[in-house]
Amino acid sequence: MRVKQQLKINFNFNKVTGEAFKTNLAKGLDNLAKLAKKKVKDTFRFQKDIDGKRYAASTPGYLSFKHQGNYQKIKTNKIMTDTGRLDKSIDSHTSKELLESIVGTPHGRYEKHLEDNISGIVRDKAVYKGYRGDYAPVPQRKFFFTSDEEAFEKMEKKIDKEVDAFFEEFIRNLTTRMRKL
């Protein structure tokens, strides 16, 4: 006598569709947005651009004009953070309905720092991209990602980690029921 046994599996997708799916995906997007925001805020804190290169120093004439000859302020000058307006305005938002995350600032006057087609400025024996400001040429200080590709390149490891975490959570919530026939 032979006994033939078959095993069938029923998958239950209730916990991985609809609201649970959106919540899981939005959590990963929010983590990525927070990392991007941290990277942008670090450009101000460390006085380095998004690529890790130091900001070009301001000219002594500009610093003297800006701080009205106050030597102590000239000596401790931080680039792009005097008022804190730009730094404080950078924010992130994640939409669970649209499944998107946004990191940015509403202040458009800093866009020239992110353009690629601007001329070079020689300062401290180095050439920097820059543009014509109100008083003199201003070196470019790239405080933000200039394209989606650049953001992906700079955050690739974290994106891979979030994708893995998303699938682990997806599989964990996928329930099965086995039955013997």
pLDDT tens digits along 98-109? 989 988 888 777
* Contact yes or no for 14/174 (Cβ under 8 A): no
**How confident is the model over 125-147, as pLDDT tens digits?**
777 777 777 767 777 788 888 88
Q: Are 133 and 65 in contact (CB under 8 A)?
A: no
Choice between 73 and 33, residue whose per-residue pLDDT is larger: 33
Residue 171 CA, distance from chain mean position: 28
- The residues near 73 (Cβ < 8 Å, ≥ 6 apart) are 67
Residue of higher predicted confidence among 5 and 178: 5
% of the chain exceeding 90 in pLDDT = 15
Backbone CA torsion sign across 168, 172, 175, 177? positive
pLDDT for 180 beyond 60: no
